[in-house]
Structure 1
Amino acid sequence: MKRVLFLLIFCAFTIASRAQVPVENSLLWEISGRGLAKPSYLFGTIHLICPTDFSISDSLKSTLARTQQVALEMDMDDPGMMTGMMKTMNMTDGNELKKLVTASEYERLNRFFTDSVHVGLAMFERAKPFILMGPLFNALLDCQPQSYEMALVELAGKQKSEVIGIETLEEQMAIFDTIPYKDQAKMLLTLIDSLPSAKKEFRSLVALYKMQDISKLYDLTMKSDFGMDGNEEVMLFARNQKWIPRIRRIASAKPTFFAVGAAHLGGERGVIALLRKEGFQVRAVK
């Protein structure tokens, strides 16, 4: 009898958890309920994308106009952001990239950055290897990419809305101290050694993003050979959980347009499911 009761409770819990997972295809979601005077909104971004695939819809613009502030993962409007980045971008304990890879691997990295990114590795010698992923995007995308975050900062400026961060630059950069630097360097090498496959995967990701299929986009992110690489907990799930009370506090103060990477939206441990578990009503905006 105890076993049967346990199984019933477990099944009920599983069904309830899955009921919170978003199934609609949408990047834009309304957050209401739980005492909010006015709705806030949640939008899933793709951090860098080619101009031919970039689009800001009239629906998104009108939704943003109904809010009083924009909350990104980090405050991209902070004038001290570049200074803060310079202070936090380097590895701890005197680590250097040359110490993390073999001489031939270092030469391969340096040659790729010199030929494809048009910058040598010398200026990044002490930088956390994940920092080098940024310059690699130009080679991955074959274009001069655009940023949804910067577009939202511009729109916020036009309507005189404040831009804030859900987490600080220091918090985000500290994530890359919890992932072994050697693992980060290995991911860099994997990416440049498998560039055709990485480009193909990224095209699939962009296609799903344009379809607004956050469930399949989440699944692809979890299966990617060039993304989390076993670090889903620290890079995705723990941050999602940490954001929920912050989103609640920010939305309670004033109607807010939240924008985070689209991979944070889907799944049982995604931001939408977690907000619903907290008692918020989160519905797709078409």
Structure 2
Amino acid sequence: MRKILWGILVCVMSATAGLAQVPTENSLLWEIKAPGIARPSYLFGTIHLICPADFSLSDSLKASLAKTQQVAMEMDMDDPGMMMAMMKSMNMREGNSLKTLLSEQEYAKLNQFYKDSVGMGLQMFEKAKPFILMGPLFNAILSCQPQSYEMSLVDLAAKQKSEVIGIETLDEQMAIFDSIPYKDQLKTVMSMIDSMPSARQEFKQLIDLYKSQKINDLYSMTMKSDFGMEGNEEIMLFARNKKWIPRIQKIMAGKPTFFAVGAAHLGGEKGVIALLRQQGYKVRAVL
């Protein structure tokens, strides 16, 4: 929320100025031109998991990527030490475990669901931050072996010998899920299990919006999701968007960069596109 510093008039002016920066075009791919820098960078909105039948890498995306010299994602996805670092940072703090956070009935229900739908029990997730349970759960929601835009972009970057870097570190991302109460994370997981048909329908709508490249509608749906952030928008989206802007500026000042972040980070007046425009960057849709 903006602070009201100069009364109602200035508040209205500030709100109008912010809204003027909100993207109106339907596009997942955007060109970024920085003041004083000749060669543009690009910004692409990903969806982290999607069925192969819905997956597509457009010619314009490939052409834009070919014009850059590095790929910047939320994290450095080709870091060979990432899996080891993930194992070290995946556990909850202060000795918490799923058995201490769930009732016996809830634990038994969750354990049985993972055995039936995922093919494994909860033993290996016993002390893990509950959001990690979402990975296997999405296989059940999608009813397919999902594909990753991030890993596909890593492969394309390797083919053109472009370095892959991260906008933020694994430790920063994992710390987010120590800030959100573990019981709230488990509440989301249990809600999805209890309402699987609704979860599948919502995710289908999300995929449809993604394929039609309606980033503002996708952003709005993410905010209203029954299985989403539930009051954690500031931690999950807004604070990160704001933190990313100076990092994006520094990265693209070094060399032309292809940025790829979750599509929910693009839309709205607190999204990456609006924030870059507020800093004087020209951001236009690549259609």
Q: TM-score range by the shorter chain?
A: over 0.9
Query: For the residues of structure 1 that align with 2:113 and 2:240, how far apart are their CA atoms?
Result: 32
Number of the residue aligned with 1:9: 10
CA contact (8 A) 1:37 1:252 kept: no
Number of the residue aligned with 1:84: 85
Number of the residue aligned with 1:219: 220
Number of the residue aligned with 2:246: 245
- Which 4+ residue blocks in structure 1 deviate beyond 6 angstroms? none
Query: For the residues of structure 1 that align with 2:8 and 2:128, how far apart are their CA atoms?
Result: 50
Shift, 1:186, TM fit: 1.0
Shift, 1:79, TM fit: 0.1
User: What is the 5 A alignment of 1:119-268?
Assistant: 119-268=120-269
Secondary structure (helix, strand or coil) at the match of 2:183 reads helix
TM-score with structure 2 setting the length: 0.97
Secondary structure (helix, strand or coil) at the match of 1:22 reads coil
Query: For the residues of structure 2 that align with 1:221 and 1:146, how far apart are their CA atoms?
Result: 20
Number of the residue aligned with 1:26: 27
The amino acid that maps onto 1:59 is S
Number of the residue aligned with 1:281: 282
Shift, 1:15, TM fit: 1.0
Shift, 1:36, TM fit: 2.1
Shift, 1:14, TM fit: 1.3
Query: For the residues of structure 2 that align with 1:33 and 1:110, how far apart are their CA atoms?
Result: 51
Q: Residues 11-65 of structure 1: CA distance to partner in whole angstroms, max 9, x if unpaired?
A: 2111111000001000000000322231000000000000000000111001000
Number of the residue aligned with 1:73: 74
Secondary structure (helix, strand or coil) at the match of 2:168 reads coil
Number of the residue aligned with 2:3: none
The amino acid that maps onto 1:169 is L
TM-score with structure 1 setting the length: 0.97
**Unaligned runs of at least 5 residues, structure 2:** 1-5
The amino acid that maps onto 2:40 is P
Number of the residue aligned with 1:40: 41
The amino acid that maps onto 1:240 is N
Secondary structure (helix, strand or coil) at the match of 1:260 reads strand
Query: For the residues of structure 1 that align with 2:222 and 2:87, how far apart are their CA atoms?
Result: 29
Query: For the residues of structure 2 that align with 1:6 and 1:237, how far apart are their CA atoms?
Result: 24
Secondary structure (helix, strand or coil) at the match of 1:94 reads coil
User: What is the 5 A alignment of 1:57-68?
Assistant: 57-68=58-69
CA contact (8 A) 1:71 1:256 kept: yes
How much identity, in percent, do the aligned residues show?
70
Q: More displaced, 135-144 or 35-44?
A: 35-44
Q: Residues 137-171 of structure 1: CA distance to partner in whole angstroms, max 9, x if unpaired?
A: 10000000000000000000000000000000010
The amino acid that maps onto 1:13 is S
Secondary structure (helix, strand or coil) at the match of 1:143 reads coil
Q: Residues 118-149 of structure 1: CA distance to partner in whole angstroms, max 9, x if unpaired?
A: 01101100000001101101000000000000
Q: Residues 59-94 of structure 1: CA distance to partner in whole angstroms, max 9, x if unpaired?
A: 100100000000000000000000000000000111
CA contact (8 A) 1:44 1:261 kept: yes
Query: For the residues of structure 2 that align with 1:33 and 1:95, how far apart are their CA atoms?
Result: 46
The amino acid that maps onto 2:110 is L
CA contact (8 A) 1:42 1:259 kept: yes
Query: For the residues of structure 2 that align with 1:7 and 1:94, how far apart are their CA atoms?
Result: 49
The amino acid that maps onto 2:162 is S
Query: For the residues of structure 1 that align with 2:63 and 2:152, how far apart are their CA atoms?
Result: 14
Query: For the residues of structure 2 that align with 1:75 and 1:24, how far apart are their CA atoms?
Result: 29
Query: For the residues of structure 1 that align with 2:207 and 2:271, how far apart are their CA atoms?
Result: 19
The amino acid that maps onto 2:90 is M
Query: For the residues of structure 2 that align with 1:192 and 1:161, how far apart are their CA atoms?
Result: 40
The amino acid that maps onto 1:22 is P
Q: How many residue pairs get matched?
A: 282
Query: For the residues of structure 2 that align with 1:167 and 1:157, how far apart are their CA atoms?
Result: 20
**Unaligned runs of at least 5 residues, structure 1:** none
**2:121 equivalent to 1:108:** no
Shift, 1:227, TM fit: 1.0
